[in-house]
Amino acid sequence: MTFPDQKFDSIAAFAGAYFDHSRTAQASVDAEKLDAAFQLLDAAYQRGAVLYVCGNGGSASISNHLVCDHSKCGQTDTDLRPKVVSLSTNMEMVTAIANDISYAEVFAYQLQTLAEPGDVLLTISSSGDSENVVRAAQWAKDNGLGVIAFTGFDGGRSGSLADVNLHVAGDNYGVIEDTHQGLMHILAQFIRHHHMDAATIAERKF
């Protein structure tokens, strides 16, 4: 059974059920794995490694949004200079690779060009099975990059490949993507918070 699995008589009823599923999805995120993702990203930012992010569709939007929050906000009031690149944002490169080689290679090909051992890849895929995301995760794993996966549904192949799989127990794309967006913000804000002077925290908006 998936949500929605019945006809709703009003948008209010639909929204109530959606929010219920959202709370369940949020509560399903493993706290120890969230801490492991934080540790991996924080260490990468401190040593000057690059975080690469990728996803398709709504997950591409989260990937691009992550660049802003982790790079710009992450260095506000801290000693960090997070280096973050979304592999989903350069449409000229994405379409050239898709047209000339294969859409399945649009992320892995960019990693071959840009990435170095010690960098980190964060994949965002509700199914965990988008072929281009899986190939990027496999390339990263084979070439000395840390891998974090945001997944939903059954986690898919990218979840299995990742060093840290932040899995959301959900079966609705909107609910899963909302939770992935929340995880993106949580990681960005806590990394900033972690590196801020305690007296400054209450003076700032997050």
Hey, which residues does 51 pair with through a beta bridge? 84, 120
Nearest Cα neighbor of 58 from 105, 126, 110, 122 is 126
How is domain 31-196 classified at the CATH fold level? Rossmann fold (3.40.50)
| Domains of the chain by residue range | 31-196
Cα distance between residue 38 and residue 99, in whole Å: 36
The 10s digit of each residue's pLDDT in 133-188 is 999 999 999 999 999 999 999 999 999 999 999 999 999 999 999 999 999 999 99
DSSP-derived letter for residue 70 is I
Give the pair of three-digit tokens for residue 130: 């988008």
Q: 170-200 burial by CB neighbour count: b if 16+ within 10 A, else e?
A: bbbeebbbbbbbebbbbbbebbbeebbeeee
The 10s digit of each residue's pLDDT in 17-73 is 999 999 999 999 999 999 999 999 999 999 999 999 999 999 999 999 999 999 999
